[in-house]
């Protein structure tokens, strides 16, 4: 009995009640939004083929998704503060499902616009889910094992990134139906699963998250030290914007780059390489990141990884055949820790401003809305040149990791 208790202790409340079932449900959200984001990288190439779009125009796939994060991040927080996290999660799931099933009527319109609107609706739901899932995974058990739970949840997010391009590639590129109808298959599947999860959440009792009381010195701190006067926080918002621009651009044009560099690789095979190669390395990087930080401080590890990522991008731009392809695969591992590390460094030392600061750093996800269109425009005739955008982004993150992360006050 002792061994069994030890295994489930990280999911037990102080009164001995187990939160294992709620934790499994919350963790499923990480898997679902990872899957949804992984599908985007298949859609990008498919839109080019189906709707005869240029690479820059196909960047609208990512724009319609990531711009929703910019528009919905603050409203999502306000909604959950007023109505609670459980209702927020259910709302997010219902929006996710609505957007997914909107692919069915969109397929009969033979235009990219209805699909882009459906993706925007999905992303509004995903934004709400991401706003809720991280704090929920930390409170479903003892406070001292919060980091262990969120790392476990994040590993399933990485699994979703693998399954997205894998399932999407098989159902979309491998379909014998019309190109527009092929787009509906993975979204009917994921929409159905999301509805089931929403029903399970509706009937599952979840703990309420209560904010800690702030003392008078904390309130005074807000007045004396305005949010945007914290230089390291401002630089972190820019760094997160840059990272999301780099990640989204690399994911979006991976298939384009691989098929251009090796004519023997077709889009379906490239999507499998993306899933089993790039995304697997991305998940391994996230799983190993916390262990690596036992021997290196977060900023030093971020500096090393951003430097290596920048070198990889140089090799990708020079288009050196197999060497460049391996460099592109390798960067998935080294950029995997950047989002959570920038996040943590950005609100370090912010005290009572931490919650507000984290909301703005999350809005940096909007960087992914613009980079695919810019990369597509630059790399229209030669995709390799478009990777100058991630190169610039990783170079800035290197600066942030070396100097920009240090807490200080402007003015």
The backbone torsions φ and ψ at residue 90, rounded to the nearest 5 degrees and listed phi first, read -65, -40
With contact defined as beta carbons under 8 Å apart, do 302 and 406 qualify?
Answer: no
3-class state of residue 108 by DSSP: coil
The backbone torsions φ and ψ at residue 205, rounded to the nearest 5 degrees and listed phi first, read -80, 125
| pLDDT at residue 360, as a whole number | 80
| pLDDT at residue 2, as a whole number | 43
The terminus-to-terminus CA distance of the chain in angstroms comes to: 59
Please give the structure tokens belonging to residue 158. 């990485």
| pLDDT at residue 220, as a whole number | 47
Rounded Cα–Cα distance for residues 85 and 105 (Å) = 31
| Greatest pairwise CA separation for the chain in angstroms | 66
| pLDDT at residue 124, as a whole number | 94
Helix segments in 110-263, DSSP class H: 112-139, 146-168, 179-182, 184-202, 216-224, 231-261
What lies within 8 Å, CB to CB, of 249 at 6+ separation is 368, 371, 372, 374, 375, 386, 387, 389, 390
**Closest-CA residue to 255 (of 273, 276, 243):** 273
3-class state of residue 175 by DSSP: coil
Per-residue DSSP letter, 276: I
| pLDDT at residue 73, as a whole number | 81
Is residue 178 within a helix (H) or strand (E), and if so which, with residue range? none
**Closest-CA residue to 353 (of 404, 409, 398, 406):** 409
Q: Please report, for the chain, the start and end positions of each structural domain, with discontinuous segments joined by +.
A: 11-206, 217-411
Rounded Cα–Cα distance for residues 57 and 63 (Å) = 10
With contact defined as beta carbons under 8 Å apart, do 346 and 216 qualify?
Answer: no
Rounded Cα–Cα distance for residues 22 and 12 (Å) = 11
Rounded Cα–Cα distance for residues 268 and 397 (Å) = 33
Please give the structure tokens belonging to residue 310. 């920048």
CATH class name, domain 11-206: mainly alpha
With contact defined as beta carbons under 8 Å apart, do 321 and 405 qualify?
Answer: no
Rounded Cα–Cα distance for residues 133 and 130 (Å) = 5
**Closest-CA residue to 75 (of 140, 10, 127):** 127
| DSSP character string of 20-82 | HHHHHHHHHHHHHHHHHHHHHHHHHHHHHHHS---HHHHTHHHHHHHHHHHHHHHHHHHHHHH
| pLDDT at residue 409, as a whole number | 56
pLDDT tens over the chain, length 411 residues:
444 445 556 776 666 677 788 888 988 998 998 899 888 877 877 788 788 888 888 888 889 988 998 888 888 878 887 888 889 899 999 999 999 999 999 988 888 899 999 999 999 999 888 877 876 776 777 766 665 677 677 778 888 888 888 888 788 766 555 466 778 888 999 999 999 999 999 988 877 655 554 444 444 444 356 777 888 889 999 999 999 999 999 998 999 999 999 888 988 888 889 888 898 898 888 878 767 877 888 899 999 999 999 999 999 999 999 999 999 999 999 998 888 788 778 877 776 676 677 678 778 888 998 898 999 999 988 999 999 999 999 999 999 999 988 876 554
* Backbone region of residue 189 per phi and psi (left: phi > 0; alpha: psi in -120 to 50; beta: other values): alpha
| DSSP character string of 75-89 | HHHHHHHHH-HHHHH
| pLDDT at residue 20, as a whole number | 83
Q: Which CATH architecture has domain 217-411?
A: Up-down Bundle (1.20)
Q: Which residues of 373-399 are buried (b: 16+ CB within 10 A; e: fewer)?
A: bbbbebbeeebbebbbbbbbbbebbbb
Dihedral angle sign, alpha carbons of residues 40, 366, 285, 258: positive
**Closest-CA residue to 106 (of 94, 118, 98, 90):** 118
């Amino acid at each position: 009995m002792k061994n069994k208790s030890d295994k489930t202790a990280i999911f037990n409340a102080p009164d001995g009640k187990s939160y294992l079932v709620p934790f499994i449900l919350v963790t499923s959200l990480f898997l679902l939004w990872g899957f949804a984001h992984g599908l985007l990288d298949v859609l990008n190439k498919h839109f080019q083929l189906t709707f005869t779009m240029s690479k820059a125009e196909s960047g609208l796939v990512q724009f319609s998704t990531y711009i929703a994060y910019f528009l919905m991040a603050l409203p999502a927080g306000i909604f959950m503060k007023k109505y609670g996290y459980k209702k927020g999660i259910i709302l997010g799931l219902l929006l996710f499902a609505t957007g997914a099933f909107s692919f069915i009527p969109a397929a009969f319109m033979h235009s990219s616009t209805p699909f882009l609107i459906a993706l925007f609706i999905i992303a509004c739901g995903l934004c709400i889910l991401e706003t809720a899932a991280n704090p929920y995974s930390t409170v479903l058990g003892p406070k001292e094992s919060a980091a262990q739970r969120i790392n476990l949840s994040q590993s399933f997010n990485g699994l979703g990134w693998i399954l997205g391009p894998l399932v999407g590639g098989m159902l979309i590129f491998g379909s014998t139906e019309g190109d527009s109808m092929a787009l509906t298959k993975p979204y009917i599947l994921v929409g159905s699963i999301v509805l089931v999860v929403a029903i399970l959440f509706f009937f599952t009792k979840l703990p309420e998250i209560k904010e800690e009381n702030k003392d008078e010195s904390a309130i005074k701190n807000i007045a004396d030290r305005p949010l945007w006067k914290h230089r390291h926080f401002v630089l972190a918002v820019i760094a997160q914007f840059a990272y999301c621009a780099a990640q989204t651009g690399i994911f979006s044009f991976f298939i384009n780059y691989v098929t251009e560099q090796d004519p023997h690789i077709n889009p379906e095979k490239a999507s499998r390489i993306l899933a089993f190669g790039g995304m697997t390395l991305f998940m391994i990087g996230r799983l190993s990141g916390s262990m690596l930080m036992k021997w290196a401080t977060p900023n030093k590890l971020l500096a090393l990884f951003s430097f290596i990522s920048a070198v990889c991008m140089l090799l990708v731009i020079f288009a050196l055949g197999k060497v460049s392809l391996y460099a592109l695969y390798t960067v998935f591992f080294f950029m995997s820790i950047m989002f959570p590390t920038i996040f943590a460094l950005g609100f370090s030392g912010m005290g009572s401003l931490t919650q507000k600061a984290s909301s703005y750093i999350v809005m940096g996800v909007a960087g992914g809305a613009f980079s695919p269109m810019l990369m597509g425009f630059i790399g229209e005739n030669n995709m390799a040149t478009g990777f100058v955008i991630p190169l610039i982004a990783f170079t800035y993150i290197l600066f942030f990791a070396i100097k920009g992360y240090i807490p200080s006050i402007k003015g």
